[in-house]
Amino acid sequence: MKYTFHIVDVFSSTPFGGNQLAVLTDAAAISTEGMQKIAREFNFGETTFVLPKNDPASTCRVRIFTPRTELDFAGAPTVGTACALVMKQHVRLSDPTKPTAPRFTGLVTSVDLDAADRAAARPSDYRDGRR
């Protein structure tokens, strides 16, 4: 099976710097076990999987995995995923981005993408791939 993924360098102004994050923007067909295997294969600090929203107040659901386990919530992967969604035009920059983490007890109310762009991923730090 092939999955489209994006690699984002979070919190860096230079390519191949900062916190590497793999983002799979269409993960609806991937099982929990499959997500864990993919995260282990990337072996980055975190890998995120974007799923369709189940809350009308959110933009999407995001599951966050390390090579060993799923996380309830993590800030850098949330910011990096929001930036990846904007850069790949899954979300417009003018729209508030409200990802939810299913295992987190609350809604991430918004991600300021202007500030996130300044502090996190920039297009030059962004790489695409297929597996």
Structure tokens, 3:
């999955």
Task: Please pick, among 33, 41, 46, 70, the residue that the annotation labels catalytic.
Answer: 46
DSSP 37-80: HHHHHH-SSEEEEEE--SSTT-SEEEEEE-SS-EES--HHHHHH
Is residue 119 within a helix (H) or strand (E), and if so which, with residue range?
A: helix 113-119
46 in active site: yes
For residues 22 and 43, the answer to whether their CB atoms sit within 8 Å is: no
Catalytic residues, by residue number, are: 46
